[in-house]
Amino acid sequence: MSKNNKLNTVPDEKGFFGKYGGKFLPPELEEPFAEIIESYNKIKSDASFINELRYIRKHFQGRPTPVFHARTLSMDNGGAQIYLKREDLNHTGAHKLNHCMGEGLLAKFMGKEKLIAETGAGQHGVAVATAAAYFGLECEVHMGEVDIAKQAPNVSRMKLLGAEVVPVTHGLKTLKEAVDSAFDDYLTDYKNSIYCIGSVVGPHPFPLMVRDFQRIVGIEAREQFLDMIGELPDVVCACVGGGSNAIGIFAPFLNDPCELIGVEPLGRGEGVGDNAASMTYGHEGIIHGFKCYLLQNEDGSPAPVYSCASGLDYPGVGPEHCYLKDTGRVEYVTCLDTECSDAFFKLTRLEGIIPAIESAHAIAYALVKAREMKTGTILVNLSGRGDKDLDYVLENWEMKTK
């Protein structure tokens, strides 16, 4: 038995990863969540569910996505060789569809007619709307009015896909209010619908279920890397917002002698409100029905967060990551906006791959680590493509002309 075997036994029956996770819900939501837990536990080992998900991954999403050796980038940088797991080539351009298709299929097996979700920047909303269109389900995406104004292209995508975008007009009119609104709506309509969470966050069973759906990334990458190189990578790294792309690639490597590293957004720096590095600066707290490292105000309410990557600016983080940090199995580091923008331009110019700003955080760390290591290999989860970020980049970052 490997000394890390206990890492494969979380969460416990109540959804706890050590002291993190769980299910902190208003009593009215206990029943709908209990129904999801029961159904998921039944369906996850059902052969027809597994076969249909396998078919979808291959023929609709385009999996397996390749592992690519970034030779030019590695040579320019010096040191260890950098490899990319190309989740940017997954249908819709990011890893998020991996769990949204799983959640959609679960809804179908449960006989539900509608998917309900919240979205911040709109990436999760687009993935859920895509799954709903595929399965012929209704879709309702709750989104703050402020975000609706900022993310017009994603709002159009969701509408084209047939989703109803519900504007949220209270409070700060952003992600937190959108979650509250989606929960309220789910409560009134749970017999007919299922709630689709956007990452390995939220009440049990979502951190477990979303991890299981994202595991495919690491399962493929591990096999592909072994095929290409004949041995495992020395380091595996990924950016961490809620933590779904990171846990997806880490999970199958937990018992291997590989260094696993999660990269959090340091934004403009260490000050409160300048970053979204929950595990680096946060403390144990509860948000959206689960316990985790949380960036919080003195009264325990979530603190304001910032990152140039809208997919990373969440004050909490998946409970399994908190557990993996405390056990020491995974190390969590940070990356500034400025380091991220350098890496964004380097990968674009040297390899012809425009990464999502989120993914560029992981690339930035890999460049530093590769120079430190001198030899060896680093596998980076390139969680998504940067098409969605082009306007932001042109407006905010000075173009590097070489």
In the bound complex, which residue of the shown chain has the CB atom lying closest to ligand PLP? 384
Q: Cβ of residue 225: shortest distance to ligand PLP, in angstroms?
A: 20
**Residue 262 found at the interface with ligand PLP (CB under 6 A):** no
| Half-sphere exposure for 234 (CA within 13 Å, toward CB) | 14
Q: Is 386 in the site for ligand PLP (CB under 6 A)?
A: no
- Out of 242, 252, 289, 302, name the contact with ligand PLP by CB under 6 A: 242
**Residue 239 binds ligand PLP, judged by CB under 6 A:** yes
Determine how β-strand 164-168 pairs with β-strand 138-144: parallel
Which of 80, 354, 356, 360 touches ligand PLP by CB under 6 A?
356
Candidate list 320, 337, 358, 389; residue touching ligand PLP; CB under 6 A: 358
Q: Using an 8 Å Cβ cutoff, are 204 and 290 in contact? A: yes
Burial of 378 (0-12, 13-18, 19+ CB in 10 A): buried
C-beta of residue 374 within 8 angstroms of C-beta of residue 366: no
- Contact (Cβ atoms closer than 8 angstroms) between residue 105 and residue 91: no
One of 64, 243, 267, 289 touching ligand PLP (CB under 6 A): 243
Nearer to ligand PLP, 311 or 319 (CB): 311
Q: Give the binding range for ligand PLP (CB under 6 A) out of 39-47, 234-242, 296-304, 390-398.
A: 234-242
39, 74, 81, 359: residue in contact with ligand PLP (rule CB under 6 A): 359
Give the integer Cα–Cα distance in Å for 270 and 111.
47
Choice among 85, 96, 108, 173 that is catalytic: 96
372 annotated active-site = no
**Tokens representing 246?**
């990171």
Residue 313's nearest CA partner among 104, 150, 90 is: 150
CA distance 336 to 219: 30
The rounded Cα 163 to chain-centroid distance in angstroms is 21
When asked if residue 334 is in the footprint of ligand PLP (CB under 6 A), the reply is no
Applying CB under 6 A, which of residues 130, 174, 224, 245 lies at the interface with ligand PLP?
245
Q: How buried is residue 58: exposed, middle or buried, by Cβ count under 10 Å (0-12/13-18/19+)?
A: exposed
The one catalytic residue in 39, 307, 341, 383 is 383
Active-site residue, selected from the candidate residues 103, 118, 351, 358: 118
Part of the chain binding ligand PLP (CB under 6 A), chosen from 28-36, 148-156, 187-195, 353-361: 353-361
Tokens standing for 104? 């959609």
278 in contact with ligand PLP (CB under 6 A): no
What residues from 79 to 98 belong to the interface with ligand PLP (CB under 6 A)?
94, 96
Number of residues that bind ligand PLP (CB under 6 A): 19
39 binds ligand PLP, rule: CB under 6 A = no
Cβ atoms within 10 A of the Cβ of 159, count? Answer: 13
Burial of 48 (0-12, 13-18, 19+ CB in 10 A): exposed
| 49-57, 227-235, 277-285, 356-364 -> range binding ligand PLP (CB under 6 A) | 356-364
Q: Is 359 noted as a catalytic residue in this protein?
A: no
Q: Catalytic: 383?
A: yes
Based on the shown chain and the rule CB under 6 A, indicate whether residue 244 belongs to the binding site for ligand PLP.
yes
Sign of the CA dihedral running 37, 35, 49, 244? negative
Residue 199 found at the interface with ligand PLP (CB under 6 A) = yes
Tell me if 123 contacts ligand PLP by CB under 6 A. yes
Give the helix/strand (H/E) hosting 115.
strand 114-119
Placement of tokens 């040579």 in the chain: 75
Task: Give me the helix-helix angle, 319-327 and 206-214, nearest 10°.
Answer: 80
307 binds ligand PLP (CB under 6 A): no
Binding of residue 384 to ligand PLP (CB under 6 A): yes
Q: Looking at the DSSP assignment, which residues form a beta bridge with residue 291?
A: 21, 286
| Chain residues in the site for ligand PLP (CB under 6 A) | 94, 96, 123, 199, 239-246, 311-312, 356, 358-359, 383-384
Catalytic residue set = 96, 118, 383
